[in-house]
Amino acid sequence: MEGRTTLPIMKTSESAFPSLDIGIGGMTCASCSARVERALKKVPGVQDATVNLATESARITFSPGEQMEARLRRAVRDAGYEPRTPEQMDAVDDASPWAGFAPVAIGLVLSAPLVLPMLGDLFGQHWMLPAWVQFMLATPVQFILGARFYKAGWHALLALTGNMDLLVAIGTTAGWALSMWLWLTAVPGSVPHLYFEGSAVVVTLVLLGKFLEARAKRQTTTAIRALHALRPDAAHLIGLDGEVDVPVAEVLVGDRIVVKPGERFPVDGTLLEGQTQVDESMLTGEPLPVPREPGEKLTGGSINGEGRVVLQVTAVGSETVLSRIIRLVEDAQAAKAPIQRLVDQVAAVFVPVVLVVALATLLTWLWWAGAPFETALIHAVAVLVIACPCALGLATPAAIMAGTGVAAKHGILIKDAQALELAHRVDIVAFDKTGTLTLGRPVLTALVAVDGANEAELLRAAASLQSGSEHPLAHAVVAAAKARGLAFEAPDNVRSVPGRGGEGEVGARSVLVGSLRWMEELGVAMGPLAARAADLQRQGATVSAMAERTTEGVSLRALMAFGDEPKPGAQAALAVLRARGIKPVMISGDNRGAAEAMARRLGLRPEDGEVMAEVLPGDKAAQVAKLKHGGHTVAMVGDGVNDAPALAAADVGLAMGNGTDVAMHAAGITLMRGDVGLVAAALDISDRTVAKIRQNLFWAFAYNVAGIPLAALGYLNPVVAGAAMALSSVSVMANALLLKRWRAPAP
């Protein structure tokens, strides 16, 4: 697999400052990530730093300076953590499911004999290993397998802060030291009750929890790895010496590339030779292959169908659509949701508070309850162990990673976590009309022939005349003739009249097709069709006329009305939004009559304020701002350059992937297909992801809020507390991974 495009590639953020992504090893909880974040922000020149525990990475925005990357990596190391190279990060992602299990296996083997006597007690059997055997089994677990906790805890102490490792190190060391003290001070010949099994089992359980957590983290990054895997390593280049295989990295814009049936397109390009069906499902979520003919665009990463084709390269490297998709998904997974900032504030004071609670537990049991020192110490150790805030740090980023990953598989690219978190609150969705709710290209909606004329023959003649024209209305006429199966011929003596229309000979007939203004200039009498033309124009249609030149002059033969058509599925998609309690609104530059006519075809209700007509392109952002009044959360859906201000003004901007780059840059969410149904799907995955975040935070806090008092009151021993702490992290990750089963709601 190729290396990550964002590690450690420099790039320019929207704030014009360069940014850098650095992998970080050794973080175990929310306190760790907060500590690294503080260390990075102290580096001179750093504008902002965001650390993500789930991806084990940091994104830093900074002012340009000498050796900035080296200084940032040094700051991570000085904070007690390991800055990782892109190769190390890829090795972590590509690791087998059992990578890192060896320490856990050793811990289980050494701890099992210590736990057996406890199981024997349940059946009335009182087994007791000699103290020296317990010591020999527990000590390697405590100081060799548990060395990572001492190292990280020591760095935390040097920084006058706390983390999960410090809690585990203090708690288990206290249990081990208590056992040593009881063993060495015991009356000769007596068999004291030791707590070696508690310290060994807690270390092993924490290691097991971290292993399961790391395994689950690797599953949350499958979306990124799957996107990377779409890139072929080589391309069939047509060079001076014929067809040769070259690495994709050597392909240049303008090169001609051969792609054989079943292969992936290595880069973006334009189809030059051949016809084929292309599977773009991994990029757009569209399950059916789409036909491609010469002149049409091809996207790198999609799969060629049955035809051998030649394409001309239009984009390579980081400029390809696939690379931009990968960047968007990585950016979203590295971003920090607003709710996470509250979690970070809690985590910053959590560990010191826990240390105080543990000390208070020790002193209360000693002096107020009058318990033996060993009992008081065991209760304090249980408080330290169960309070580890690792689940708290994973709750939000794990859900965001899973949510953005599954959304990408369905053609929904979420650019930032804030858009993901806000989308679930949307109660109004504003749509640009042309190209978003409609096809965005004219179609022949009506052909009104004069009395007695053959409508099919007139359409055939008009299509014949316009078969060589590039005008959008001419394409609409030709498409209508093809749809009706009409055969048309090449015209003769074609003459174009700029801004008016054209005329030529079709068989024995001299045919004219053009605007009503041209017909008026030619003195063509509209007769009884004049009222019909006016009616069509009031409905928002563009009206042209077809006439025939004869020896008696130019005579009208038919009116042709052109209009936009709703996108297939647009009406059903708007109905789905309405069923979710969301108000759809259409923003159009058309006159009121035309806009309302299209709105009714889409199932919108103009009488309820669901149509904004006669809106100039520059005023769309103001209309979005007006919709936000009254506390509404507004999403804007658009595809054009003139939609960009409105997309930025909305609480959540959704850009159609078949639109412009400017619109996609301004939007927080990009829909890779021009399918209006993806809007409801994007809002639904936001709902599900935010629900998972809330569930995770509830369980993470619940473990601590319920567990700490129980441990302090003596209802939990360190072994049970360690198991509960490990279970909290695993349950949070498992709950987040349930998002991978999400499917877009059917209209």
Catalytic positions: 432
Contact 42, 75 (CB under 8 A): yes
The closest of 421, 246, 443, 254 to 339, measured between CA atoms, is 421
Contact 86, 168 (CB under 8 A): no
Question: Between the CA of residue 147 and those of 36, 100, 516, 722, what are the distances in Å?
Answer: 21, 15, 87, 17
**Burial of 465 by CB count in 10 Å (0-12 exposed, 13-18 middle, 19+ buried)?**
buried
Contact 666, 647 (CB under 8 A): yes
Residues 6 or more apart in contact with residue 96 via CB below 8 angstroms = none
Q: What is the tally of helices (H) and strands (E) in the chain?
A: 26, 27
Sheet holding 634-638, edge to edge: 412-414, 669-671, 652-656, 634-638, 428-432, 583-587, 611-612
- Please report how the helices 338-363 and 164-184 are oriented relative to each other, as an axis angle in degrees rounded to 10: 20
- Which tokens hold the place of 252? 């240049």
Nearest 10 degrees: Cα torsion 196, 200, 201, 207: 170
Place of tokens 């050494």: 110
Contact 430, 585 (CB under 8 A): yes
Contact 312, 270 (CB under 8 A): yes
- Which tokens hold the place of 530? 């004049």
Contact 630, 641 (CB under 8 A): no
CA 55-59-61 angle, 5° bins:
175
The closest of 639, 312, 638, 295 to 470, measured between CA atoms, is 295
What is the sign, positive or negative, of the torsion defined by CA atoms of 61, 66, 69, 72?
A: negative
- Which tokens hold the place of 500? 């008016």
- Bridge-based pairing state of the strands 492-497 and 443-449: unpaired
How many residues does the structure list for the chain? 747
Q: For residue 352, is the peptide bond before it cis, meaning its omega torsion is within 30 degrees of 0?
A: no
Q: Where are the beta strands (DSSP E) in 185-255?
A: 234-239, 242-247
- Bridge-based pairing state of the strands 309-315 and 57-62: unpaired
**CB atoms < 10 A from the CB of 319, how many?**
12
Contact 639, 674 (CB under 8 A): yes
Report the amino acid identity of residue 322.
Answer: L
The closest of 552, 499, 491, 488 to 521, measured between CA atoms, is 499
* Cα 447 from Cα 533, distance rounded (Å): 11
Mark out the alpha helices in 79-130 (DSSP H runs).
Answer: 86-93, 102-122
Of the CA atoms within 13 Å of residue 272, those in its CB half-sphere come to 14
The DSSP code for 471 is -
